Amino acid sequence: MSNPTTATPSLGPLLPLYDTSSGQTNIAWDVDPTTVATDAEGVTHGKASISGTFSSTPPSGVVSTLNSSATPLAANAVFTGTSESILAYGSISVQAYSDVASAVGGLVIEQSQDGVNWDTKASYSVGATTPFQATINATGQFYRAVYTNGATNQTVFRLQTIKEVNASPSAGVANQRVNAQSGDFVANSIVDLTTIITNTTGLATQTTLAAAKTDLDTIVTNTGKTPTSATGTITSIVAAIASTSLLASNTSRKGAYFFTESPAIMYRALAATASLTAYTVQVPANTFYEMPTEPVYTGAISAIWSAANGSVRITEMS
């Protein structure tokens, strides 16, 4: 058996502990160099103690004193926070306020694998007297905040970073993802609706929800497709200085083309009656006009001309 007073202790299982006030990660081990003994297999054991209040569960959110500041900066001065571990956290929330603007991209949240090389950076510009906030996903083992002031001395400066266990990315980022993946978003809605149909009881009938799913399937099927038509109806209307009907209401209408064979201006209205002061669009002499198709207007269309001269050729698609 080894001499307990001279034996070199071997580290046992490492246990991450979190300071309940600061959230800093501390390591406790099961070896105390001052009270050691060796077992039958020759392994030295002991017990260690640390001071403070600790928990094996990280706090839900901890303000970082190492990467927050309220000390105003001189012109072009830089605040550089201290590297700290974020292994136990999912994101970093940052708020900043200053009475003068930062440098361009002056607020930077840096992340690192080793606390030395800061390879991942999220940069932001902070406007004068404009509160700023953002949430950044934690991807590295360490992080720090860096703030570079603009060309004017600050009199007010507040920078705070919070390590969050569970937090979502900034709303702007989430919206960008939805916009960029709108097709997937709609398709996934069908999956969600199918789940509702399968699991919902007492809220709506199966038939009603199934019909809703069918409608949503149709929307997805036709999303991004150009409307088509195999039927075109051609008419010709003589120009007049009184309100004249061009097309009657038609719920099957998919579009319409107009070509004015007239030296006069045509005042066209998406309504049953048109006048020189109440109309939708002015169509110049001898001009081709295509009715917008988003949305397709299916109501009555009328027109009046600045002079009773010529006609308009119309093709209605349905």
Q: What is the pLDDT of residues 167-219, one digit of tens each?
A: 444 433 333 333 334 444 444 555 555 555 555 555 555 556 666 666 666 66
**Token digits of residue 201:** 């009881």
Per-residue pLDDT reduced to its tens digit, 234-287: 999 999 999 999 999 999 898 898 888 888 899 989 999 999 889 988 888 888
Same fold, 61-171 and 232-317: yes
**Token digits of residue 180:** 């960029």
CATH no. for 232-317:
2.60.120.770
Phi, psi (degrees; rounded to nearest 5) at 143: -145, 165
pLDDT (mean) for 56-79: 86
**Token digits of residue 118:** 């800061």
CATH no. for 61-171:
2.60.120
Candidate from 58-62, 93-97, 250-254, 270-274 with smallest mean pLDDT: 58-62
* Confidence band, pLDDT 50/70/90 cuts, at residue 108: very high
Alpha helices by DSSP H, listed for the chain, are 171-180, 182-199, 206-222
Picking from 140, 136, 128, 154, the residue whose alpha carbon sits closest to that of residue 74 is 154
* Confidence band, pLDDT 50/70/90 cuts, at residue 11: very low
Q: Where in the chain are the domains?
A: 15-55, 61-171, 181-222, 232-317
Rounded Cα distance between 133 and 155, Å, is: 20
Per-residue pLDDT reduced to its tens digit, 118-177: 999 999 999 999 999 999 999 889 999 999 999 999 999 999 999 988 644 443 333 333
